[in-house]
Amino acid sequence: MSDLRTQLKEAVDEAEWEWLIPHAQRDAIILVADDLDLLDVGVAIANDQLTSVQQWIDEQLLTKPTVVQLGEWNSNLSKRFNTLIIQPYVLVQEIAAA
């Protein structure tokens, strides 16, 4: 598991919303709450840790972007996110504006 964690840690990156639009269009974006560690979520999904993932979904810590969020991001294409691809999903976590 540590090898997977290391591989995923190297895959965490920053992206502008404009680059993520194609993934949103295919409904592949999963928004990760600030309360969670993006890497921990990626490892849990990759390892099929269904109990943890379902708990996060139930607590609305993992969600699909809302229409309002998509509208806000589409009006600010340079909005930045931390991202992690766990096929077929793209996990994103908003980066607070400085």
Q: Would you report the helix, strand and coil content of the chain in percent, each value rounded to 5?
A: 45, 25, 30
Q: Enter the tokens of residue 27.
A: 């409904």
Place of tokens 């928004």: 31
Tens of pLDDT, residue by residue over 7-63, are 999 999 999 999 999 999 999 999 999 999 999 999 999 999 999 999 999 999 999
What is the model's pLDDT at position 69?
Answer: 96
Phi and psi at residue 89, to the nearest 5°:
-100, 155
Burial of 8 (0-12, 13-18, 19+ CB in 10 A): buried
Q: How confident is the model at residue 96 (pLDDT cuts 50, 70, 90)?
A: confident
Q: What angle do CA 29, 34, 36 make, to 5 degrees?
A: 85
What is the model's pLDDT at position 55?
Answer: 98
Tens of pLDDT, residue by residue over 57-95, are 999 999 999 999 999 999 998 999 999 999 999 999 999
Say if residue 1's pLDDT is above 80: no
Say if residue 98's pLDDT is above 70: no
